Structure 1
Amino acid sequence: MNHDKIKMREKLSYAAVNFGNIPIMTLINGYLLIFYTNICGLSPAACATLFLIARILDGLNDPLVGFVIDHLPNTKHGHFRPSLIVGTVLCSLNFLMLWFGPMLAPGGKLIIAYISYLLLGVLFPVMDISLNSLLPVMTADMNERNSLSSIKGLAYVVGALVIGVAAPLILGDASNKQGYIHMILIGTAVVFICSILGTAGVKERIKPQKGKSYTVKELFRILSRKPVYITFLAILLYTIGGNIVSAVNTYYYTYVLGNLSWSAILTLVMCITIFPATMFVSKLIGKYGKKKMYAIGLAIAGLTPLIRLIDVRSIPILVISALITGIGSGFAAPLNYGIQADNTDYIELSMGIRAEGAIASLSSFISKCAMGIGGAIPGYLLALAGFDAAAKTQPDSVITVIILCLIGLPALVDLLAIVIFGKGYPLTKEKLEEQNRILAEKRGTVQAE
């Protein structure tokens, strides 16, 4: 077993490749709905149906994509890095078509949106699953793995925050066509450059063992294991809530507060607490375990926004909510991926196979389903409430829907996620320590032979 410490240069590369994974889904979640309604002229209900059908159908293929990636031949460049590079190139091109196709086409805008959205469902998993499969194979040292997990979470948080600040400033206004062009071109460049350079700088140290590949039948057995499906359900629910918020946030700042720039300001406010929380959570994990800290993070991040119901237009309450929510997000973000790495080890111990791609495919599957459901709910509700993209002032029914999607619905699904994870996830701190000890002994024995 290789116990060499991972050098800072490689950790920075790992941070870069994770940072490069952020703009695609962050921009889609936050701006695609309002871009399609205000720039392309599509109805909210049509967009909602697109998001729901395409994402859930695409999500169903993610376990199969993970299966294919797991069974790709090992190369001198590693097992997952080549597919990550190929996925990055193809996904970047399709990302441009997703936005510019419907905007530039004289007709058939919805058809182009469906085609490019469905293609995204095929291409993004190649990139995303390959990336999420790297953590378990970069090191078997648990301290280094926790460090990489924190780096991954921090990169995701930083990426989301950078986009959260930069996007509204670049955009200027929710109906600014030129602003969208600049935003998408810059975002695509970040994806391509960071992903390619970051992939080139990381190493895969844990090699697949001969005879340890799994069948399609075993794939579904993997996905039915309790740690795996409980994690899946909890993250799915929490991410649905996050996607509901992302889809409606631009509407809130545009039609409730009347100033999209507040989106950038509040994102900066969250930095005050989210960065320290992300860096401090690794110490708390050592004392309380991942399960407890993840549940606490979900509770803080998902339920704190309820205080905004006191006055949805109050900037001081909005700032306080953002500060506290940042703590919860800082706790939860790094643990998403550390828990998935632990689940990969659980599968190896209980079934005797390595299945990084299968476990990582859950991330892509969750993202797809959450995007579909979370993006569809605001679209349908806004259509029912009478949203008019041409109107600068919306009726009270639309404002009510915006607030419901911004605060009420996300808190409800988050509460359900906390209960499911807290009651159902079996890998406590003590069980993880025992699992790691047994695996270390088995791996040592295999290498000694």
Structure 2
Amino acid sequence: MNKEKAVRPFGMRDKLGVTLGDLGCCCTEQFRAMFLSVFYILVLKVDPIHVGILMIITKVWDAVNDPIVGALVDMRKSTKGGKFIPWIKAFSFPMAVLCILGFANVSNFDYGFRIAYMFISYVLYEALYTCVSVPFGSLSSVVTDDSRERTALSRYRSMGGTIFMTVIVIVGPLVLYDKDRQPIAGRFLMMAAVCALAGLLCLWVTCVWCKERVVLPQEAGKKQKLNYLDVIKHICKNRALLGVMFFSFFGMVGASIVNGLNTYLFRDWFGSMGMMSVSGMLSTVYALITFAITQPIANKLGKKEWCIAGAGFATVVFAVLFFVPVHNALLFIVINGICFLGASGMQVLVWAMVNDAIDYQELQTGGKRNEGIVYSAYSFFRKLASAVSGSFSSFALGIIGYNAAETVQSAQVVNRIWKTYTGSYVIGYGLAILVLWLVYPLTKKKTEEMLQQLKENREARTAAKED
């Protein structure tokens, strides 16, 4: 199972390497997610409808190319540098360049040229990002095969996005806009360059600090032959993967609608945008608490068990709030924070559960892990959820009769905002919990049994090969 006996044991460098890897991906992807459409509309002066169409097309393309890249990664023979790290090294630099080029100010060119430039630069960036994100997402499955160490990796990975969002939410608005809240075109390009270079540095450190340790005996010394249709057939039978995919899909859609309605909840229901800022600042505190408590709880209860218990508690609380409204913003922030601590296990542990699904694939197929395709199948569902849920909150506002032209909404509309906010939370997270409970098979006990069986299988294959 070990690639070479001299490889250092799993430790803090691997954990920090995963944190920096996620931070490196977020530096380009999340910066674009937050500011690219704003740049297109306010700086390049492109019709929002055209921007929306562009986003839908490119996001669907981004989701579709994940399995393609995953198959290519799995077909590549593992080398001295590893199976996944060479991909991160090779594509992180061109990805950073395309991130910067996406914010070039071409507003003086013809409208058709602007649209073409946006489309080409967006599609190329997303293809390169996939060539980095799929190998990075698969990397933690071969850094260690210990369940507790994987939980630690998943926990540390969640910190990457938290660090970036904490910084960019504070710095971004201060740098990108003037005192009259108008965008400054050149600063978008400047910040894109800073984020891209920071992300590149983080990813290169990841390639040095993270070590690939889990290598199957039959992978050594020969090129992998991949039967794509056979892999897809096994994926469709992989209950662990199906469970984590649909669990993540419903959870992300529910969270997207709630996040999209957050501004309107504080603006129209509570009548205080200042309290929204308080809620945003406290979210960093909640994230740090989550980082501290998730692994001890997951080690004791199990990943599946903690996700169901914690998110189930939050869902029940919001079901009560649906019928018993809270009008005090501070009280709501406290209640929401407690629920966040419960539900956040879903976000922190999901990466470890994907790694367990990769092991489940190996157990089912008798030794074929297919890390790239399995992870990219999961990534496909995450990106599909992102693509379809991005406008759900806008649709919800339209359905409840929200009138953007009115400074003050009617009492009926304001009440519907509360019902939609709490109801979306209950439905989204409720469906996610139901899928996890009924479909995902890996309880704490079954995960331990699976890992023990895999260890015995690998040792048997190694012994047979030596004979």
Normalising by structure 2, what TM-score? 0.81
Which residue, 1, 6, 10 being the options, matches 2:10?
6
Map of 1:62 onto structure 2: 66
Q: CA deviation at 1:61?
A: 2.4
SS in 2 for 1:73: coil
Q: CA deviation at 1:90?
A: 2.4
Taking the TM superposition and a 5 Å limit, the aligned residue runs for 1:7-26 are 7-26=11-30
Map of 2:232 onto structure 1: 220
Distance 1:410 1:322, change over 3 A: closer
CA deviation string 1:346-392 (max 9, x = no partner): 1111102011111221343133212211223345667897987xx89
1:232 aligns with 2:252: no
Taking the TM superposition and a 5 Å limit, the aligned residue runs for 1:9-408 are 9-100=13-104, 105-108=109-112, 109-171=114-176, 176-178=182-184, 180-181=188-189, 183-210=191-218, 213-224=225-236, 225-245=238-258, 265-299=278-312, 307=321, 315-317=329-331, 319-328=333-342, 330-352=344-366, 353-378=368-393, 408=423
Structure whose alpha-carbon radius of gyration is higher = 2
Q: CA deviation at 1:156?
A: 3.4
The 2-side partners of 1:164 and 1:309 are apart by 33
Q: CA deviation at 1:298?
A: 3.8
The 2-side partners of 1:51 and 1:71 are apart by 30
The 1-side partners of 2:53 and 2:166 are apart by 29
The 2-side partners of 1:405 and 1:386 are apart by 12
SS in 1 for 2:218: coil
Q: Structure 2: which 5+ residue stretches go unaligned?
A: none
For the 8 Å contact 1:255–1:392, the answer to whether it is kept is no
Distance 1:255 1:28, change over 3 A: farther
Percent identity, aligned pairs only?
A: 23
SS in 2 for 1:361: helix
For the 8 Å contact 1:36–1:47, the answer to whether it is kept is yes
CA deviation string 1:34-60 (max 9, x = no partner): 554444444544443333333123312
For the 8 Å contact 1:274–1:329, the answer to whether it is kept is no
The 2-side partners of 1:309 and 1:28 are apart by 38
Distance 1:291 1:243, change over 3 A: same
Q: CA deviation at 1:187?
A: 2.7
What letter is aligned with 1:240?
V
Normalising by structure 1, what TM-score? 0.84
Q: Structure 1: which 5+ residue stretches go unaligned?
A: none
Distance 1:425 1:313, change over 3 A: same
The 1-side partners of 2:37 and 2:420 are apart by 14
Q: CA deviation at 1:329?
A: 5.0
For the 8 Å contact 2:250–2:428, the answer to whether it is kept is yes
For the 8 Å contact 1:164–1:263, the answer to whether it is kept is no
The 1-side partners of 2:51 and 2:242 are apart by 29
Q: CA deviation at 1:99?
A: 3.8
For the 8 Å contact 1:149–1:334, the answer to whether it is kept is yes
For the 8 Å contact 2:177–2:183, the answer to whether it is kept is no
The 2-side partners of 1:41 and 1:303 are apart by 45
For the 8 Å contact 2:256–2:393, the answer to whether it is kept is no
For the 8 Å contact 1:29–1:246, the answer to whether it is kept is no
For the 8 Å contact 1:238–1:413, the answer to whether it is kept is yes
Larger CA deviation: 125-134 vs 255-264: 255-264
The 1-side partners of 2:373 and 2:314 are apart by 28
Q: Across the two proteins, how many residue pairs are aligned to each other?
A: 447
The 1-side partners of 2:29 and 2:315 are apart by 20
The 2-side partners of 1:105 and 1:244 are apart by 36
The 2-side partners of 1:257 and 1:105 are apart by 44
SS in 1 for 2:391: helix
